[in-house]
Structures are given as C-alpha cells and as structure tokens.
C-alpha cells in the first residue's frame, strides 16, 4: 500500500505548480505511478520503457495483462522511442489533430516495454492537449504509458476525486487539475495498413477523420469479447457501475413504464437522462442529468460522473437514454453499450 501523494495544481501560484508537477515527474522517473489529468479523462502514468513500472499500473488497476496501453508523449522528437516507423496515415492524423484526443496505432519501437504492447508488435501513441499533462511529460523526460486512472472495468475518472476513490493507497501520486473537458477517452485509429481503421471512437469524430483521410474503415471485431484487443476498450466490459445498466430506445415514451415495473418489485431505480427529459422520469428513486440533448459534448463530459453517482446512490437497476451516433454520439454510445454489457431495451 502507498501513502498516495495528492497535489492540487489548480489554485496555486506558478512556482508552486511547477514544483508540484516536477515532484510528480520525479516519481515517474523512479518507476512509480502517477495519475494526471488529460483533456479526455485522468490517466494513470508510468515509464513506458520499464516493465517494472508498467507492472505497477496493471497491479493498481487490476487490469488484464493482454489489454495494451496507450503511450503519451509531449514532443514529436520522442516518437523514435515509441514507434519503429511512422506510417503516412499516422503522420497526417498527427499533423491535423495533435495535440488532441486521438491515438494512432503504429509499429512499436524495441525500447517500449513488452507489458505496454501486451505482446503485440504495434503500440498506441498520442500527444494530449492538456497543459498539466504536457508539463508532466516534459519533466518526466520519458514516454509515459497511461490507461484511465480507475479500477479496471469501472467508469473512467473525470476528476481527481474519482481517481482517489478508486486508487487511493494503490498509486504513488495524483495531480489534481480539476474536471476534464472531453469526458470520454481518445479516438484510436490503426494506421499500420493501407487504410485507416477505427478501433475506438472518441474525442475526434468519425466524420472529422473521413474529412481528413477521405475514407475510414471500422474494425469488425470492435467489442467482441473473443477478439484479441489491439487497443484499449476493445475487449472487456468497461465503464460499468455496480448495478446493471439498461439502455432504452425511445425513452420518453417507454422508460416510465420500465421504472414503474421495477419499483413494483421493490427495486431502487436510477435513471441517467438529459436535462430536458428529467421530469418524464420523476417516478425514479434517483435521477442524474448528463448534459443536454441539444449538445452531446455536454453529455460526453458528464457521462462517467453520472455513472459513478449511481454507485454512490446504491441503486439496484439503472436505465439510461440513448443517443444518435453522429459526431461525439458514436463515442457516447460505444461507452454506454459497454457499461450496459449490450443490454438495450
């Protein structure tokens, strides 16, 4: 067990902020684990060149060892430590969207720890668009592998409090940079073939990628439990609170009857919904808003917090609205389907 150090770098002067981030970077240099904010969710970082360090990520999270990790860098010159080569498709994506919420799968450099790639000959790499993350990576001076900073299978953390709830005592430190912006993890694109292949939808939309590249394929094994994962988020049940989650199509008409039926059996019912529809579900025991139906970016930002609030409320069953798969909606529905383990009403 660790005595987890926590630095709040939001409301401090620049000198203190710099010193705190450098202290966190020193832990990474010592092959320890540190949670830090990115523009997507909080990541749990460790030296991507050290199997000893990476083993501590898997131990803290309880993460399956065949689930690969994404490597984070602060500068393009670090790519030679991560990637054996940079495919042209990857170069185009980097030029368009880095720093930003997108990961490219490239041939792995031999220096990368085997535990990072889960035995694959490829690796995911991204440059986050968050000033605290970039400073941490620069001061650490090594590529940093960083999955989401939560216990494996649970909703990803979008605040330092979420991280502390899951991992306090299990990691060396937490950099508290406030609430994250995008709210869902990075888009992941395999760039090692002739065509770009979407492995995980995220902060950069499918439509943006098609506009850039002209074409984009989707991996046919996406979400299949028997497929070897080529990227985080592909194989295992993810983002799930304790109670079972059910996604409801046409929810305003159908969800009230589902609430009534479950309450008649004595269950404590939770509903996750958009702000405009809360009144329609007033019979539920717990109702949590996750943004506006008119602005799906707000839904993405609040999705994981809403799932975590249902755990805190200790409900027996959770119903959730569904969304269009346009833009960021594709990433939202990808995460919700995994949280629900495919249960759609």
Q: How is residue 222 written in tokens?
A: 């996406």
Give the Cα separation of 61 and 149 in Å (integer): 8
Closest by Cα among 321, 324, 328, 329 to 345 = 321
Confidence at 155, pLDDT banded by 50, 70, 90: very high
- The superfamily CATH assigns to domain 5-218 is DHBP synthase (3.90.870.10)
Q: What is the DSSP letter of 148?
A: B
Give the Cα separation of 224 and 61 in Å (integer): 22
What mean pLDDT, rounded, does the chain reach? 93
Residue 53 annotated as binding site? no
Interstrand relation of 197-200 and 102-107 (parallel, antiparallel or unpaired): unpaired
**CATH number of this structure's domain 245-339, picked from the four choices 3.40.50.10740, 3.40.1160.10, 2.30.30.40, 3.40.50.11030:** 3.40.50.11030
Is the backbone of residue 190 left (phi > 0), alpha (psi -120 to 50) or beta? beta
Spatial CB neighbours of 69, under 8 Å, sequence gap ≥ 6: 48, 54, 57, 115, 116, 117, 118, 124, 145, 146, 147, 232
Residue 325 annotated as binding site? no
pLDDT of 15 over the 80 cut: yes
Q: How is residue 31 written in tokens?
A: 């092959």
Residue 225 annotated as binding site? no
Residue 67 annotated as binding site? yes
Average pLDDT score over residue span 296-316:
95
**pLDDT for the residue numbered 228:** 47
Q: How is residue 212 written in tokens?
A: 């850039």
Give, for 189, the enclosing helix (H) or strand (E).
strand 187-190
Residue 139 annotated as binding site? no
Residue 40 annotated as binding site? yes
Spatial CB neighbours of 163, under 8 Å, sequence gap ≥ 6: 35, 42, 44, 149, 150, 157, 174
Give the Cα separation of 273 and 280 in Å (integer): 10
Residue 72 annotated as binding site? yes
Q: How is residue 71 written in tokens?
A: 């490597």
**pLDDT for the residue numbered 225:** 42
> Model's pTM, two decimal places?
0.93
Give, for 272, the enclosing helix (H) or strand (E).
strand 269-273
**pLDDT for the residue numbered 199:** 95
Residue 341 annotated as binding site? no
Report CA-CA distances (Å) from 330 to 97, 124, 149, 157, 327: 18, 20, 23, 20, 6
Closest by Cα among 317, 335, 338, 208 to 259 = 317
Average pLDDT score over residue span 59-73:
90
Residue 63 annotated as binding site? yes
Closest by Cα among 28, 234, 223, 239 to 120 = 234
Confidence at 176, pLDDT banded by 50, 70, 90: very high
Residue 170 annotated as binding site? no
Average pLDDT score over residue span 93-122:
97
Average pLDDT score over residue span 323-342:
94
Confidence at 22, pLDDT banded by 50, 70, 90: very high
Quick: pLDDT tens for 212-267. 999 999 987 654 444 445 555 555 456 788 999 999 999 999 999 999 999 999 99
Tell me the domain boundaries of the chain: 5-218, 245-339
Residue 281 annotated as binding site? no
**Percent over 90 (pLDDT), the chain:** 89
**pLDDT for the residue numbered 66:** 78
Residue 117 annotated as binding site? no
């Amino acid at each position: 067990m660790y005595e987890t150090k926590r630095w709040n770098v939001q409301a401090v002067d620049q000198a203190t902020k710099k010193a705190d981030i450098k202290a966190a970077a020193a832990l990474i240099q010592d092959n320890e684990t540190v949670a830090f904010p990115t523009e997507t969710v909080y990541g749990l970082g460790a030296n991507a060149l050290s199997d000893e360090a990476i083993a501590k990520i898997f131990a803290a999270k309880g993460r399956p060892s065949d689930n690969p990790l994404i490597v984070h860098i602060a500068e393009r010159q670090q790519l030679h430590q991560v990637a054996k080569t940079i495919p042209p498709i990857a170069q185009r994506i980097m030029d368009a969207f880095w720093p930003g919420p997108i990961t490219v799968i490239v041939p792995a450099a031999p220096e990368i720890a085997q535990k990072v790639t889960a035995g694959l000959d490829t690796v995911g790499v991204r440059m986050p668009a968050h000033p605290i993350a970039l400073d941490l990576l620069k001061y650490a001076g090594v590529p940093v592998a960083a999955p989401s900073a939560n216990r494996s299978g649970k909703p990803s953390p979008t605040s330092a409090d979420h991280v502390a709830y899951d991992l306090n005592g299990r990691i060396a430190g937490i950099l508290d940079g406030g609430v994250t912006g995008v709210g869902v993890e990075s888009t992941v694109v395999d760039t090692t073939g002739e065509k770009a292949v979407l492995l995980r939808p995220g902060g950069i939309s499918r439509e943006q990628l098609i506009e850039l590249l002209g074409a984009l394929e989707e991996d046919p094994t996406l979400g299949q439990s028997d497929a070897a994962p080529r990227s985080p988020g592909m194989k295992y049940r993810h983002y799930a609170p304790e109670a079972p989650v059910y996604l409801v199509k046409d929810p305003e008409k159908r969800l009230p009857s589902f609430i009534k039926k479950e309450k008649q059996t004595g269950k404590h019912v939770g509903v996750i919904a958009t702000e405009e529809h809360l009144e329609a579900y007033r019979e539920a025991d717990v109702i949590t808003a996750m943004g506006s139906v008119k602005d799906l970016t707000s839904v993405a930002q609040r999705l994981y917090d809403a799932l975590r609030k249902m755990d805190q409320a200790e409900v027996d069953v959770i119903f959730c609205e569904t969304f269009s798969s346009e833009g960021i909606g594709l990433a939202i529905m990808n995460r919700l389907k995994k949280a629900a383990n495919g249960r759609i009403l």
